């Protein structure tokens, strides 16, 4: 079975541009979460979506937005990119919005802002 | 902020058991202990989780102390492929799902 897939794997953008990252959850998983991992640090929570609704949001500015589609895939959008947005962006899926089911992560999209 | 404390790094010889400690002295009664690991250039991989009983699966064993203020993840026969950063996380099972990662323990398995 396919795991969580993310695209693209690498991306280079210029400061001020916008970017869209995509995530396909494991088949049957209805919840998707997004994390940002800056080099040398652990991942930080950005958003959780369940059944197309935002369930939680981390401490990130409004430049970060996301949505979930009827097929449970998700997009993360970042506007007005800053150099500090350079990071590995991870998507994770799980069966339900609230459960003991563990999160399963993709291998991420590495975003470089120049 | 992460609610766990882990040593920044540990070494282990290939074939030996790797025991990774974690302190979570402020853990609440409804919080579970989760362990993930992250191999270089990959996303975090779920290993195991538990509430208060010891748990074992095909990857590892988790021992949680009776007062639940600390736990130990054991990889029974470490291999070179177990070299990774290991994260210990406490999480409530209700509400939205949010993992708060610390800086983890970098485990180096050597031949």
Nearest to A89 by CA among A28, A3, A11: A11
The structure tokens listed for A4 are 């969580």
| Ranges of chain A whose pLDDT falls below 50 | none
**Contact between chains at B41 and A103 (C-beta distance less than 8 A):** no
How many Å apart are CA B3 and CA B110, to the nearest integer?
30
- Within the 83-112 window of chain A, which residues sit less than 8 Å (CB to CB) from chain B? 90, 92, 94, 97-100, 102-108
| Ranges of chain B whose pLDDT falls below 50 | none
DSSP string, B65-90: -TTSSEEEEEESS--GGG-EEEEEEE
Query: In chain B, what percentage of residues exceed pLDDT 90?
Result: 75
Q: Which residues of B fall below an 8 Å CB-CB distance to A?
A: 2, 32, 34, 41-46, 49, 87, 93-104
Query: In chain A, what percentage of residues exceed pLDDT 70?
Result: 96
Note the pLDDT of residue B36. Answer: 97
Smallest Cα distance from B111 to chain A, Å: 25
Contact assessment for residue B49 and residue B36, using Cβ atoms and an 8 Å cutoff: no
């Amino acid at each position: 079975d396919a795991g969580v897939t993310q695209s693209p794997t690498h991306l280079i953008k210029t400061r001020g541009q916008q970017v869209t990252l995509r995530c396909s959850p494991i088949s049957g998983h209805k919840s998707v979460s997004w994390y940002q991992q800056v080099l040398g640090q652990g991942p930080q929570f950005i958003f959780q979506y369940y059944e197309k609704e935002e369930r939680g949001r981390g401490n990130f500015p409004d430049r970060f937005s996301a949505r979930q589609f009827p097929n449970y895939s998700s997009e993360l959008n970042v506007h007005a990119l800053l150099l500090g947005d350079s990071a590995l962006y991870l998507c994770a899926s799980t069966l339900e919005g609230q459960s003991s089911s563990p999160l399963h992560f993709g291998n991420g999209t590495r975003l470089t802002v120049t | 902020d992460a609610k766990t404390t882990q040593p920044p790094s540990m070494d282990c010889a290939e074939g030996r058991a790797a025991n990774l400690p974690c302190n979570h002295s402020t853990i609440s009664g409804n919080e579970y202990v989760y362990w993930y690991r992250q191999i270089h250039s990959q996303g975090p991989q779920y290993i195991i989780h538990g509430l208060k009983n010891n748990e074992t699966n095909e990857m590892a064993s988790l021992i949680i102390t009776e007062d639940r203020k600390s736990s130990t993840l054991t990889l029974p026969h470490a291999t070179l492929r177990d070299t990774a950063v290991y994260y210990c996380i406490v999480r409530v099972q209700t509400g939205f799902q949010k993992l708060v990662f610390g800086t983890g323990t970098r485990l180096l398995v050597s031949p």
